[in-house]
Amino acid sequence: MMSSAQNFTDIRVEKIATGLQFTEGPAWSKEGFLLFSDCISNKLHKFVPGVGGSDYAEIPGGPNGNTYDAQGRLYTCEFHSRRVTRTSKKGVVEILASKFEGKRLNAPNDIVVRRDGHIYFTDPAFGDQQDHRELDFFGVFHITPKGDLEAIAKWKTRPNGITLSPSGKVLYVADSDARLIRAYDLDKAGAASNERVAIEKIPGVPDGIRTDEKGNLYVAAKFVYAYSEDAKLIGTIELGETPSNLTFGDADLESLFITARTVVYRVRLGVKGALQY
């Protein structure tokens, strides 16, 4: 159960989708629906509250992390095709990144877009993805609104989930190998500095991460863990399957949608998620 000190009450875990293969990349659209990936089947699925779920699109490149921007455009990390794409509201697909300094990306994993159009994504390599690497590092990347690509961090360990603070001035990145969360300060130009450890000794392997409007950080690992801005554990949401990622949604942004292997869960929290776009 969540800590009552944070006014989380009546926590109830609800299954909104079942029978999938490996769910990831939940993203809430301002149009009132949840989008998420089934990585193994190469599909995006859609869930409309009060209506139910349906297939949304087939992505042969292997969809993983997804997000939207302020204009309602969809961003997807495609781990098979090793690229990051943006899909317009009319369905036009644009490749934003596929190579860095002439070498193919490893396997883009998760992505976030700041309100002013700066894009950040992680590029680890898990399992047999490592057999085809051209880069000698695991990257945290930044794409400027003009389309320039830069590596803001070159890790020996693997970055995974990525998110922003409510103000957009801090970037958080999950380190799956070191089992911690790193943070970076972001300036108005989108540049990152002051790398530091924000949270450490996370149980399980940290994957997707999100913040709420209070600045608390939610981490999908062994379970879903909620941490305050000063890294204190304030609550745990235990699930039947291991969570992979999460996002806030519903009309009031007070539900946490959690992808977890074959299931997608919804938990009403009574606190709003930080609006990422």
Q: Give one DSSP letter per residue of 46-101, joined into a string.
A: EEETTTEEEEEEE-TT-EEEEEE-TT--EEEEETTTTEEEEE-TT--EEEEESEET
Q: What pLDDT does residue 9 have?
A: 53
Q: 146 lies in a domain? A: yes
Q: What is the pLDDT of residue 185?
A: 98
Least Cα distance to 216 among 204, 231, 205, 202 occurs for: 231
Whether residue 44 is contained in a domain is answered as yes
Per-position DSSP letters for 1-39, written without gaps between them? -B-GGGT--S--EEEEE-S-S-EEEEEEETTTEEEEEET
Q: Residue 8: pLDDT band by 50, 70, 90 thresholds?
A: low
Whether residue 8 lies inside any domain: the answer is yes
* Burial environment of residue 210 by CB neighbours within 10 A (0 to 12, 13 to 18, 19 or more): buried
Residue range 68-79: mean pLDDT, rounded: 96
What's residue 201's pLDDT?
97
SS3 of residue 256 by DSSP:
strand
Torsion sign, CA atoms 253, 22, 81, 103 = positive
Let me know if residue 274 belongs to a domain. Answer: no
Structurally, the chain folds into a number of domains equal to 1
Q: What number of helices (H) and strands (E) belong to the chain?
A: 0, 26
Mean pLDDT of 199-215: 97
Q: Report yes or no on 11 lying in a domain.
A: yes
pLDDT of residue 226: 97
Average pLDDT, the chain: 93
- Of 115-129, 147-161, 179-193, the poorest mean pLDDT is in 115-129
Query: What residues contact residue 148 under an 8 Å CB cut-off, 6+ apart?
Result: none
The domain spanning residue 117 has which CATH number?
2.120.10.30
pLDDT at 4 over 70: no
Q: Give me the pLDDT at residue 265, please.
A: 98
**What pLDDT score does 5 carry?**
45
85-104 average pLDDT score: 96
What confidence tier does 127 reach under pLDDT thresholds 50, 70, 90? confident
Q: What's the burial of 226, exposed, middle or buried (CB within 10 Å: 0-12/13-18/19+)?
A: buried
| Any domain includes 277 | no
**Residue 129 forms part of a structural domain:** yes
Q: Give whole-number Cα distances, 169 to 36, 77, 165, 185, in Å.
A: 26, 23, 6, 6
pLDDT surpasses 90 at 132: no
pLDDT at 3: 40
Q: Is residue 273 part of a domain?
A: no
* pLDDT greater than 50 at residue 255: yes
* Percentage with pLDDT > 90 across the chain: 88
φ, ψ of residue 4 in degrees (nearest 5): -70, -20
What is the pLDDT, as a whole number, of residue 1?
37
Whole-number pLDDT of residue 129: 77
Average pLDDT score over residue span 63-81: 96
Q: Range of 19's domain? A: 4-268
Question: Average pLDDT for residues 182-208, to the nearest whole number?
Answer: 97
pLDDT (0 to 100) of residue 101: 97
Per-residue model confidence (pLDDT) at position 2: 44
What gap in Å lies between CA 52 and CA 33, rounded to an integer? 10
How many other C-beta atoms lie within 10 A of the C-beta of residue 156?
Answer: 9
